[in-house]
Amino acid sequence: MKLSKVFIYNNDRPESIEAADKFRKSVEADGIVVCHDCKDADLLVCVGGDGAFLRFVQSCNFPSQPIIGINTGHLGFFQEFTADRIGRFEEIIGTDRFTIQEIRPVCATVHHNLGVDQFLGLNEVLFRGPYSHLTHFTVSIEDTVIQEFSGDGMLVSTSAGSTAYNYSLGGALAAPELDALQLTPIAPMNTNAYRCFRSSIVYPSSMKLTLTPNNRTSRDSIEVVNDGLTSSFRNVNKIEITQSDVTINIIRLETYNYWEKLNSKLL
């Protein structure tokens, strides 16, 4: 891979700042220009953990250029390099000793009385009502009603995001190569009045999921949280969830093994 310009993003942790400075000096010594705008770069570099990676992708509006992560966080599922390997970066990238992993975000389209808003999540998109109220949704897949849901909310995750909040909710772990989305309930009600599914549903990413608030919930405020970014709406008519057409390209080294990473970090 021939590089001429890179963009470097880092969070504000001291170890991230130090690693970003080390990386900047390394690439500049090789004659590579460090850009101030991600749109101008051939390669994007994110220094931090998975949270930094998500913020970076959102702030750059889901860029098409390849992204490589340098992990200074904890889990680092998206990150591929460690700070102590920065000196080998040019050798590995310059000789094409890597592959590109393509990840397509989940897309939520919110229809409300004031218009339509759209949100992308690399990991997930979450839907919930006010903290003190139950949330009531009619859940449909491909226009077939499968559930009248009552609970704290619903989460839709990508396969890549299955190790994040989805996993904490008891959802299934899914290999990133699995072209699917996963619907996971948040604190579902199970009483004589309400009967809701308690496990996640994994379904083909080509299918459309629709959440329709009932009259009581549609009058409440509904929060949409995509990768930690929160928006709030009233008078929501419906929410349509699909797989986005956008593709995020993540650089993976030759030694990348998802199952080894999963075993070392979660299992």
- For residue 83, say whether it is annotated as part of any ligand binding site: no
Residue 195 confidence (pLDDT) above 90: no
pLDDT in tens, 153-184: 999 999 999 999 999 999 999 999 999 999 99
Distance between CA atoms of residues 3 and 29, nearest Å: 13
- Do the domains 5-103+247-264 and 106-243 sit in the same CATH topology, yes or no? no
pLDDT for 192: 67
pLDDT in tens, 120-163: 999 999 999 877 778 999 999 998 999 999 999 999 999 999 99
Query: Which CATH fold would you assign to the domain 106-243?
Result: Tumour Suppressor Smad4 (2.60.200)
Residue with tokens 């900047």: 24
Q: Is 50 a catalytic residue?
A: yes
What is the per-residue DSSP string for 166-233? HHHTTPPP--TTS-EEEEEEEEE-BSSS-B---S-EEEETTSPEEEEE-HHHHHS-EEEEETTEEEEE
Going from the C-alpha of 164 to that of each of 3, 4, 121, the distances in angstroms are 32, 34, 12
More confident residue, 218 or 148: 148
Residue 42 confidence (pLDDT) above 70: yes
Beta bridge partners of 137: 149, 213
* pTM, to two decimals: 0.92
Going from the C-alpha of 226 to that of each of 108, 157, 257, 267, the distances in angstroms are 9, 10, 27, 26
For the chain, how big is the Rg over CA atoms in Å? 20
Nearest C-alpha neighbor of 7 from the set 44, 47, 54: 44
- For residue 51, say whether it is annotated as part of any ligand binding site: yes
- For residue 167, say whether it is annotated as part of any ligand binding site: yes
Domains of the chain, by residue range, sit at: 5-103+247-264, 106-243
Q: Are the C-beta atoms of 220 and 129 separated by less than 8 Å?
A: yes
Q: Quickly count: other Cβ atoms within 10 Å of residue 84's Cβ.
A: 9
For residue 47, which phi and psi values (nearest 5 degrees)? -110, 120
Pick the CATH number of 5-103+247-264 from 3.40.50.10330, 1.10.8.640, 3.40.50.720, 3.10.20.600: 3.40.50.10330
pLDDT in tens, 231-258: 999 999 999 999 999 999 999 988 889 9
Residue with tokens 């072209």: 179
Average pLDDT, the chain: 91
pLDDT in tens, 88-100: 777 777 778 889 9
Catalytic residue among 30, 42, 50, 179: 50
- For residue 133, say whether it is annotated as part of any ligand binding site: yes
Residue 24 confidence (pLDDT) above 80: yes
